Structure 1
Amino acid sequence: MNSNSAIEQTEHYDAIVIGTGVSGGWAAKELCENGLKTLVLERGRMVKHIEDYPTMNMDPWDFKHREKQHPDDTKNQHKQSRLWGGALTKPATKHWFVDDLKHPYNEVKEYLWLRGYHVGGRSIMWGKQSYRLSDLDFEANKKDGHGVDWPIRYKDIEPWYDKVEEYIGVSGQNLGLAQLPDQKLEPPMELNCVEEDLQESIETSFDDDRLLTIGRVAHITSDKPHEGRSKCQFRNRCIRGCPFGGYFSSNSCTLPAAERTGNMTLRPHSIAYEIVYDDNLKKATGVKIIDAETKEKLFFKADIIFCCASAIASASILMQSKSERFPNGLGNDSGELGHNLMDHHYAVGASAEVEGFDDKYYKGRRPNGFYIPRFRNLGDSKTKKDFLRGYGYQGSASRTNWQHAVPELSFGKDLKDKILKPGPWRIGMSGFGECLPYHENKISLNYHKLDEWGLPTIDFDAEIKENEQKMREDMRDQAVAMLKAAGYKNVKGHLGKAIPGACIHEMGTARMGHDPKTSVLNKHNQIHTCKNVYVTDGAFMTSSACQNPSLTYMAFTARAANHAAKEFKKNKNS
């Protein structure tokens, strides 16, 4: 396919960014602040900060049926509603998730692909947990022989973690752990009394340095100025869009910063489907899009292209970008494009009832929980297990709500007493485990099943394997052990089905590496064989670690965008 199949636009941009989520927002900000005229493409609709958050201030009684949902309401979101019992597609939030009939995908093996097609992408809906990777993670592939070696180490990305954290605002507590590097943190949120009790129990009951801390989340908790944003109000309605800008999203933070420079052109309803490679110039010359509303095909030209559409979408675009030089997809000399698909595995942990704190409660709706960092396979004999890599836990304790005050069960004074008293304390934790980078876990393009724009749909063929299954058993057993050691009642472990994609941390489909024969990208996130194309969303990840990855995407994006800007200016002046 050549550029003549789409209408060539006259304006030539310095850079094009595909996608507006956590990575795309950072690419836009850094490129624009470096003076580059940048076109930012988003396949979905426009979402303006504050004015386009329709449910941000709604209470349960403002919804029909108090936010309960009729099964017919999810018929167009039959895949998006499979997670958490359909919690994401209830009336308060369903508008953020795609219509599965309009945006289908195919499951060779069971896979959950959760998407939001709008400006800001999943930066509006993300869980905001923000942890750094360490050299334990960056060196793991080389040491145990799975996947390929990361082409960078922690020292290379450390200053970019610093930059991102100081700009977006991350609250939490530093612990001095080698496996979880200290960060540039705002004041931590508070653990409640039961979580503090478990924290003390873990410290005294186990001799393997495991510990419990408050989660590190991208929420402002200080009075430090953050342009256009104020600190978290503890409403815990983040997924609806925060009118205060208390948590980080592209809409409240990075896209406004890019817009303030005057260098950004934001174009929603723009479905990028091909990066055009010029065989004579030996570089990419622009991006083809389909206007989602008019179905018109357009070609936008630029010197630099950033793929930030998500691990799946970016790989798909590269796979569709075929030329005489790249018959199997742009930059796919190694054959690794679309392979090594990873996600974290979870749906495993334990819960319990807690006695002795009935006179205690807490204030506000904290949008965060506790975190137990990795304590397995840290490089010493004491923490070594019969599986590779490790896991962490996220959890919380709370008083159960007032739903036990069912009118049919009491009346009069008894009913009033029950309504005024909260229920007992419960606590739970869920493990998040690392998945190894398996070549056979992959996506592929299905040209027999096209979407409504005539583009191929995606086939998912991925599963967890024996190593992850062994890890999951330990994740359950240790969760049970920690709750029992604290003396809690009715401790129940759970080991659910691990469905790839369910953590919404998809990554690895265009991995970084030293060698173009075994990887797609180099140490600067450039395609080895087409260096004016950068990929900085989850696709670049060479291994998954067990930490939530979005902070790492942002740090690598900032680093890559500054590298691209520097190279652009050098070439322009040469």
Structure 2
Amino acid sequence: MSGTEYDVLIVGSGPGGGAALQRLCQLWKKQGAKKIGILEKGDKLFHSHGQNIPTQNVNTSRDQLIAYNSTTIGDRLPQFSGARMIYALGGRSLLWNCATPRPIDEELRKWPIHPRELDVYYRTAERLLHVTTDWAKGSSLQEQMLRRLHGAGILEAQDMPLALDLAPSRQGEVHSNAWYSSINAMAAALFDRPYDLAVDAYVYRVRTQGGKVSGVDVYDADKKSHRIRAKNVVVSASTLETPRLLLNSNIKGDAIGRYLTGHVSMIGIGTVSRRQFSDRLGNLSILKFETEDDPYQIQILGPDQYWSYQQFEDKALKDQLMIVYATFGRVEPRRENRVYIDQSQKDEYGVPMQQVQYSLSNKDRQTAEQVEQGIRKSAAAMGVTLDESSLVLRPPGADMHEASTCRMGNDPATSATNPHGQIHGVQGLYVADNSVLPTLTAAGPTLTGSALAIRLADHIVRQSS
């Protein structure tokens, strides 16, 4: 790759990098002269989302795959102690739970993109991710619990949208990767046009010249450095790693690393008697959507591990069914919450590490109280007995939803990129991961990050024509 000059070079293979790659290959399908490359710091882990592996169910994926295949970086980030990274081809998209709600409209109207344009790219991303609300279709548990929630006035409870391809394999067309990861996007890209891919490729510097990007410097697994030239560089390394790379590259910008935002998160666990439901029990997949009055979402999942399990597994249900309430509340975007470089700590390659300054405001703590009240209200409506010991606020970063450290906007004083995702003042240098989100609502960031990455790819193609 060091002998090639790329039209677009993508750093990171998570949801943003994968979506940008797929769109570029789709739009440049007939343009053989275009050169596209993608670089991944990690190695190959598995060629699919973890839920597609025949030996896994949702419990083992969470308790084993994530634990064995991730790096707990919160140990050295005391104010963001729940942080965990997955360095592998596909990144966190290999192990996410695939919930894909859109952010609340009231917030999107404040973003520097027209709502009609945003809607186009959300719909495009939803097609790429095969978003569906049919996961629990026909389940008596789902139907009864929704009726109970609506009867109690919790009208925001609906079938949960998931990035899940429910099409059957038939007539030679194989749909074996039902749960979405960016591996799906990379596969779609590969069948549109060839691109270059390198794993164990640690990008440690972005190079610029005369206000334009010129390429990147990369370490391979043997710690040998390579320089790769590119007309456009798209950084999709993650909310914590992207600002680290930009700051270590001396990219100027007052807002780079600022406005780090996560969720206040709590996991409630309860039980309900199986006798209340018919034999057509099915699974439970409900999302209580965010509202202006309730700045949080609740994912209601169950029963037990059978929210997602393999066809080989006997569905042995106890008299008491376990129901899980996974909650995510909004956190105020504040400039003082940030990722910065700590020159006193360096990695094995001698590159300075990042450190995090992060705290919750009084309003954030009030939201956390609303989250707990929301769990209690939902459980009471559903007839679920809560385990009180489970209602504990998770440490910052444990939700793995951090965003906004390179957020887009029109003012370089409060944003790192312009509304197209280009770093202010550096032609051809873009960001396409959760760090570019202007704000983080209670919705998880993956769908939005994918939509913005597709939009960015369209912009690059227009600029390159």
**1:351-378 per-position Cα deviation (integer Å, ceiling 9, x unaligned):** 3433642663635xx5x72111124x2x
Sort the Cα spacing of 1:525 and 1:226 in 2 relative to 1 into closer, same or farther, 3 A: farther
What's the offset of the Cα at 1:511?
A: 1.0
Asked if residue 201 in structure 1 is aligned to residue 154 in structure 2, the reply is: no
- Give the one of 3, 9, 24 matched to 1:31: 24
- Give the one of 128, 131, 136 matched to 1:167: 128
Unaligned runs of at least 5 residues, structure 2: 29-33, 307-314
Q: 1:152-231, aligned counterparts within 5 Å?
A: 152-172=113-133, 187-190=134-137, 192-206=139-153, 210-223=155-168, 229-230=174-175
User: Partners of 2:346 and 2:424 in 1: how far apart?
Assistant: 30
User: Partners of 1:500 and 1:59 in 2: how far apart?
Assistant: 28
- Give the one of 48, 51, 55 matched to 1:58: 55
Partner of 2:272: 353
Asked if residue 13 in structure 1 is aligned to residue 13 in structure 2, the reply is: no
Q: 1:231-270, aligned counterparts within 5 Å?
A: 244-251=176-183, 253-270=184-201
Sort the Cα spacing of 1:229 and 1:96 in 2 relative to 1 into closer, same or farther, 3 A: farther
What's the offset of the Cα at 1:87?
A: 7.5
Sort the Cα spacing of 1:226 and 1:345 in 2 relative to 1 into closer, same or farther, 3 A: farther
User: Partners of 1:105 and 1:355 in 2: how far apart?
Assistant: 41
What's the offset of the Cα at 1:331?
A: 3.9
4+ residue runs over 4 A deviation:
52-55, 86-89, 92-95, 223-229, 486-494
Partner of 1:116: 86
User: Partners of 1:421 and 1:350 in 2: how far apart?
Assistant: 17
Aligned residues: 451
Partner of 1:525: 421
- Give the one of 288, 292, 303 matched to 1:372: 288
Asked if residue 300 in structure 1 is aligned to residue 233 in structure 2, the reply is: no
What's the offset of the Cα at 1:466?
A: 1.1
Contact 2:26 2:189 (C-alpha < 8 Å) held by counterparts = yes
One-letter amino acid of the structure 2 residue matched with residue 198 of structure 1: M
Normalising by structure 2, we get a TM-score of 0.88
Partner of 1:566: 462
Find the residue that maps to 1:469 and give its secondary structure.
helix
User: Partners of 2:280 and 2:55 in 1: how far apart?
Assistant: 25
User: Partners of 2:148 and 2:192 in 1: how far apart?
Assistant: 52
Contact 1:331 1:520 (C-alpha < 8 Å) held by counterparts = no
User: Partners of 1:59 and 1:219 in 2: how far apart?
Assistant: 16
Sort the Cα spacing of 1:420 and 1:436 in 2 relative to 1 into closer, same or farther, 3 A: closer
Partner of 2:40: 42
What's the offset of the Cα at 1:163?
A: 1.4
User: Partners of 2:178 and 2:56 in 1: how far apart?
Assistant: 19
Partner of 2:258: 339
**Percent of residue pairs identical:** 21
**1:27-51 per-position Cα deviation (integer Å, ceiling 9, x unaligned):** 111222333311100011135636x
Partner of 2:310: none
Find the residue that maps to 2:124 and give its secondary structure.
helix
One-letter amino acid of the structure 1 residue matched with residue 54 of structure 2: N
Find the residue that maps to 2:86 and give its secondary structure.
coil
Contact 2:104 2:290 (C-alpha < 8 Å) held by counterparts = no
Unaligned runs of at least 5 residues, structure 1: 1-7, 61-83, 140-148, 173-186, 231-243, 323-329, 378-382, 384-388, 402-418, 570-574
Partner of 1:572: none
What's the offset of the Cα at 1:490?
A: 6.0
What's the offset of the Cα at 1:533?
A: 0.9
**1:143-195 per-position Cα deviation (integer Å, ceiling 9, x unaligned):** xxxxxx531142221111111212321111xxxxxxxxxxxxxx453264344
Contact 2:100 2:446 (C-alpha < 8 Å) held by counterparts = yes
User: Partners of 1:54 and 1:41 in 2: how far apart?
Assistant: 25
